Structure 1
């Protein structure tokens, strides 16, 4: 079995000492937590060997390529699908990563297709504390860590939206419209997964009383409140971006109207001048001034006088 398949493994029983992942895998009777990577081909077969107590349907669910946050109760087994921010280097946080968790109350199997930093943080905390944990504590801690990691990226997103609004109000140069559309897309994408995440956490709270205990229920409720605030912030951000979008469209419309207004004034000025020059330009006999060397200057002066009279008229009428 590939060493990269099992990322971490630990006993959940205080009577056991820590062992390497290869020593822990395949233990049927012992309470353990396995965190595995199911991105590679053959992950289902490897998972079946590492956790023979799981049935094929649960293995298939943990290895699924596309998932949305939800919780399924199978009586004595639970399947929990969560989504977290992508905190990997050079990755966009809104490119959310999936964490799949299965537990029968004794064993916990968590699976990822891309690295989930929330899991790494929990592993480091458990190593540092060296305290025994139960299966329910692992499940709740994973959910809490994933929600906790959302605060930073969402806070930065809200700051970017505020900076965009300030830049728009100050009239700073730049492709503000493109930036606004990018932020709108990010907000909608994150919210798309956070709403079902809230429902999943609510379902998990419903199971918490009997399966996870009062302490876990309180932790989940607290994490659920944070998640609800994140969704409220995203809803407010979406409305703010919509308002900014409408303001930008209004500004563009105003600019276009001003340009059209200017063109209308110019066209109004040159309309009679164009008529006059067109009339004098027809190639027929009897045109006045055809043999007069000063006729051009009389016509040019007349056109200038007409233009000046029109400008004075428009100015007096408040056109500009």
Structure 2
């Protein structure tokens, strides 16, 4: 992989301020100074070379380098001097991965540089790189956090729509069939919604925090754009709450249907038991192997007994019908 050959460097760009960027390798990174322009470095934090560079060669404070190397950070935003230390989570679109197993990205942003770290691929990062290739990329750190947040939230839309479609289809299955195997599907949907909200709620707080922090390189226009992105994230969180509630209601409805189905079967078994209870009594009574059984010497006794049994069944059915038991 590319970042392995470059000692943990996944992407390195020097922004040209016009929507494009020049790629940076390690010699260019070492030779960089603020006068040359804003740079964006994206690292694989699990690489030992990156750990060494961040802690000993980058010039960052220990608190910042430790945060960029954190294994499983929750979404947050912290102001340090005139920079922002941010952790965000995006939907996991990697092959074979579960969407709720969200991918984290850690960021340190100042007016002159952007340093981000991750381990697994995040499509939002690829979107940012594609914008540079099309000469439509960000021009400064303020635009970077706006565009990255926008891509992270936008990439959630498809997953939430799929989850909504899945719960809608399951609701129809519950109403039309109500099979017990749907319980597992409903539980899975609820677990996905819970897992997604676990990170989206603090991500909303992080974006809100960015808007109110007094950093000189974040303009009012950037804050307004972040507010719109946060509103979209809030709608996603509300959608997740709705999906959870719908799954819970569908689960209860499924339980009611299964209970009704079980009661119906138990009712039919009870009817059958009631029908055969007197018949069992008669056959048991006449089956006693002692002297004096009526009709023991009569060749027509068996036919008479069968007629008696059918008569009893007929009377019971008429009685059950009259009482509306079925």
TM-score computed with the length of structure 1 as normaliser = 0.90
- Cα distance change on mapping 1:6 and 1:42 into 2, 3 Å: closer
Q: Check conservation: 2:179, 2:258, Cα contact below 8 A.
A: no
Q: Check conservation: 1:62, 1:101, Cα contact below 8 A.
A: yes
Q: Does 1:20 align with 2:24?
A: yes
User: Which residues of 2 match residues 213-224 of structure 1 at below 5 A?
Assistant: 213-224=219-230
- Cα distance change on mapping 1:210 and 1:52 into 2, 3 Å: closer
Q: Does 1:127 align with 2:130?
A: no
The whole-number CA distance in structure 2 between the counterparts of 1:21 and 1:28 is 11
CA offsets per residue over residues 99-129 of structure 1, 9 Å max, x none? Answer: 1111233221111110010011011102321
CA offsets per residue over residues 68-123 of structure 1, 9 Å max, x none? Answer: 11112223332111111112234332221111111233221111110010011011
The whole-number CA distance in structure 2 between the counterparts of 1:208 and 1:145 is 24
Moved more, 116-125 or 93-102: 93-102
The whole-number CA distance in structure 1 between the counterparts of 2:47 and 2:269 is 64
The one of 135, 142, 163 aligned to 2:169? 163
- Select the structure with the greater relative contact order (CA < 8 A; seq sep ≥ 6): 2
Residue 6 of structure 1 and its aligned partner are, at CA, apart by 0.9
The whole-number CA distance in structure 1 between the counterparts of 2:53 and 2:296 is 101
Q: Does 1:35 align with 2:39?
A: no
- Cα distance change on mapping 1:208 and 1:241 into 2, 3 Å: farther
The one of 262, 266, 272 aligned to 1:256? 262
Q: Which blocks of at least 5 consecutive residues in structure 1 are unaligned?
A: none
What RMSD over aligned residues (CA atoms) do the two structures have, in Å?
2.5
- Cα distance change on mapping 1:91 and 1:17 into 2, 3 Å: closer
Residue 17 of structure 1 and its aligned partner are, at CA, apart by 7.2
User: Which residues of 2 match residues 100-111 of structure 1 at below 5 A?
Assistant: 100-111=106-117
User: Which residues of 2 match residues 114-263 of structure 1 at below 5 A?
Assistant: 114-129=120-135, 133-171=139-177, 175-207=181-213, 210-263=216-269
The one of 57, 62, 82 aligned to 2:63? 57
Q: Which blocks of at least 5 consecutive residues in structure 2 are unaligned?
A: none
The one of 5, 10, 14 aligned to 1:11? 14
Moved more, 248-257 or 84-93: 84-93
The whole-number CA distance in structure 1 between the counterparts of 2:278 and 2:14 is 94
Please state whether the residue corresponding to 1:282 is helix, strand or coil. Answer: coil
Residue 194 of structure 1 and its aligned partner are, at CA, apart by 0.8
Q: Does 1:70 align with 2:73?
A: no
The whole-number CA distance in structure 2 between the counterparts of 1:141 and 1:87 is 19
The whole-number CA distance in structure 2 between the counterparts of 1:155 and 1:130 is 28
TM-score computed with the length of structure 2 as normaliser = 0.89
Q: How many residue pairs get matched?
A: 319
Q: Does 1:45 align with 2:46?
A: no
The whole-number CA distance in structure 2 between the counterparts of 1:230 and 1:144 is 13
The structure 1 segments of at least 4 consecutive aligned residues displaced by more than 6 Å after TM superposition are none
Cross-structure match for 2:305:
299
The whole-number CA distance in structure 2 between the counterparts of 1:17 and 1:312 is 90
The whole-number CA distance in structure 2 between the counterparts of 1:148 and 1:17 is 23
